[in-house]
Amino acid sequence: MTSTTLTAERADLLEALATHRHLLRFTVQGLTDEQARQRTTASELTLGGLIKHVALTEQNWARFVVEGPAAVAPPADPSGYETWADAFRLLPDETLDGVLARYAEVAARTDDLVRTLPDLDASHPLPEAPWFPPGARRSARRVFLHIVAETAQHAGHADILRESLDGQKSMG
């Protein structure tokens, strides 16, 4: 990638990403793999599954910025939906440390894109999916803002799950 000047906008995006990633990672400090797999609410969500999901979502949206709509296209068949559902679970052969390491790799790649992408206005069409408006496009800027929002939302979910698990709170 080429180097660009770190504008205030890019610095703000990087700071927002770092802040919300920290809050999400903070919620799993000191947990065992078994605790990270444990459902603590009526939701199917687990702390390890949330970390894994956020990492995969960020990875796919960063790929969208570079490669286009195929990176975020919905699954094409039932096995694709099974794989998608597994992205919300810490599977028996996975560890919390492993998904956290993967998340760090994904975050570094995204941060590099924020710093070096030549044009934050560059856009791609969104794929056809029930959750995207027909004919819509997303700029790189909008994708990075979406990653911030997704991470912040799931950090809040993780805080509730952690408090339900052992009473620990990220804030307050």
pLDDT, tens digit, 9 for 90 and up, residues 31-76: 999 999 999 999 889 999 999 999 999 999 999 999 999 999 988 8
23 lies in some domain? yes
3 lies in some domain? no
Q: Which domain holds residue 81?
A: 8-166
172 lies in some domain? no
Q: What total number of domains does the chain contain?
A: 1
pLDDT of 107 reads: 98
Q: Which two tokens stand for residue 53?
A: 């999901």
What is the DSSP code string of 26-73? HTTTT--HHHHH---SSSS--HHHHHHHHHHHHHHHHHHHHH-GGGGP
138 lies in some domain? yes
Percent of the chain with pLDDT over 70: 97
132 lies in some domain? yes
68 lies in some domain? yes
Q: What is the CATH number of the domain that holds 41?
A: 1.20.120.450
128 lies in some domain? yes
37 lies in some domain? yes
Angle at 72 (CA atoms; ends 71, 75), nearest 5 degrees: 105
